């Protein structure tokens, strides 16, 4: 149910075409809520047929022309309703953690190398988030909208910091674990 709300949020920030929206998902919203281009286009159709968004009028013929969308009052109301509603946190599901648990009974072969790969990926993501923070949230940029957006980014920074610390600790444990194939 959250993809339509992510799209409504993005369109309220800036009316966009489907292509522009997918690019924005790739660069910002996609860091915490991913969607394929097909999912976004499909959801745009649903939102439009549901009366939550509309295609902006175009001065040129529609054939082959990009359609841009804007949120209608019903879409804003739906987003406000959804934002105000209470939701429980989702349980964590992570295949790496499940594989670590399985390694306890079948052996650690391949796990250490994958932990190193994950550590590298999380370090890169952390560096990217920190660069975004420097670029987009300099001191003094503290409107309520900026502060809320910065909180979302801080969640990403804090999660990546957690993963880099945890993976570093896990790799420190490996020299003391039984070798591959022994549990």
| Phi-psi sector, 159: left (phi>0), alpha (psi -120 to 50), beta | alpha
For residue 1, pLDDT beyond 60: no
Q: What is the mean pLDDT of residues 160-174?
A: 95
For residue 183, pLDDT beyond 90: no
User: What pLDDT, on the 0 to 100 scale, is given for residue 179?
Assistant: 60
In whole angstroms, what is the distance from residue 139 CA to residue 61 CA?
Answer: 46
In whole angstroms, what is the distance from residue 47 CA to residue 56 CA?
Answer: 14
Tens digits of residue pLDDT in 140-153:
888 999 999 999 99
For residue 181, pLDDT beyond 60: no
Tens digits of residue pLDDT in 41-91:
999 999 999 999 999 987 665 566 688 999 999 999 999 999 999 999 888
Reference 30, options 128, 158, 165; nearest CA is 128
Q: Is the dihedral of CA 6, 7, 11, 14 positive or negative?
A: positive
Query: Any residues with CB less than 8 A from the CB of 154 and at least 6 apart, and which?
Result: 133
Cβ proximity of 163 and 118 under 8 Å: yes
């Amino acid at each position: 149910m959250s993809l339509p709300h992510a799209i409504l949020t993005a369109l309220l920030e800036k009316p966009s075409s489907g292509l522009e929206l997918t690019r924005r998902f790739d660069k910002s919203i996609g860091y915490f809520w991913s969607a394929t281009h097909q999912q976004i286009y499909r959801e745009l159709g649903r939102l439009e047929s549901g009366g939550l968004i509309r295609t902006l009028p175009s001065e040129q013929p529609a054939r082959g022309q990009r359609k841009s969308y804007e949120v209608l009052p019903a879409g804003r109301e739906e987003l406000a309703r959804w934002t105000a509603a209470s939701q429980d946190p989702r349980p964590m599901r992570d295949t790496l953690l499940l594989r670590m648990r399985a390694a306890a009974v079948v052996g650690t072969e391949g796990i250490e190398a994958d932990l190193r790969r994950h550590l590298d990926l999380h370090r890169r993501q952390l560096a990217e988030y920190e660069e975004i923070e420097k670029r987009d949230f300099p001191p003094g940029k503290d409107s309520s909208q900026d502060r809320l957006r910065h909180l979302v980014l801080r969640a990403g920074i804090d999660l990546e910091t957690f993963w880099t610390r945890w993976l570093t600790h896990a790799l420190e444990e490996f020299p003391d674990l039984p070798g591959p194939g022994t549990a």
